[in-house]
Amino acid sequence: MHIPENKKVYFASDQHLGAPTQEASFPREQKFVNWLNQIKDDAEAIFLLGDLFDFWFEYKTVVPKGFVRVLGKLAEIRDSGIPIYFFVGNHDLWMHDYFEKELNIPVYHSPQKFILNNKTLLIGHGDGLGPHDKGYKRMKKVFTFPLFKWMFKWLHPDLGVRLGQYMSVKNKLISGDEDAKFLGEENEWLVQYCKRKLETAHYDYFVFGHRHLPLHIQLQEDSKYINLGDWIQYYTYGSFEKDKLTLKKY
């Protein structure tokens, strides 16, 4: 992807809209929509790296109620011709084709390589990668097992969504994280994942979310790991301009 001189590519992750309740998260939704409204004038593309919603499940004809402001803003931006790329997180991993059909936004379920102005980026949500996080990895296998998804969809949406929202807020295994604090490079499992990937291929930037902690770590002289933080405490995002990716705060 070539980025013109006056344009930028933006990255954001972990808004967790709906947590702990839709009413409590409404100011955060407004703030995120205001940010989208601000960046649309110079955005060449926008990457959303998962957990936009604290819980999301797509039935055949039903999606969770609410979030109309952020969905409407995403539709407006996409209809204007700006590409948007969405990576599912561990809280919205049951996303199927609603974004693709309704908003024309591609949805990815695993990290993907992108090239921006000759810089190679590996982009994803970050859950379940690298060593450790074993409790969440076991939980994810259950949640993504086809029989479990088939059984869950037969719950009435009023029950299924309420149950999913309760589990999403209460169960730490779903989060896959301890309290967001820097553990040191040797204990940061996404850092270990990035270093292992560098053994077989070069990436200028690794860009992930999930940790709820803004991080900018030099892996090699020409390779960096960026964690985008969240829109609960930090309100941080990534901005790629010319050939450099930086973390910024809204």
**HEC per residue, 195-214:** HHHHCCCCCCEEEECCCCCE
| 71/64: higher pLDDT | 71
d(CA 71, CA 38): 16
Q: In this predicted structure, what is the pLDDT of residue 244?
A: 96
Give 1-60 pLDDT, tens digit per residue.
Answer: 899 889 999 999 999 999 888 899 999 999 999 999 999 999 999 999 999 999 888 888
In tens, the pLDDT along 170-199 reads 654 445 455 577 778 888 889 999 999 999
Residue 132: the pLDDT is 67
Residue length, the chain?
250
How does pLDDT run across 104-155, given as a tens digit for each residue? Answer: 999 999 999 999 999 999 999 998 887 766 656 666 666 666 776 677 677 7
Predicted pLDDT at 106: 97
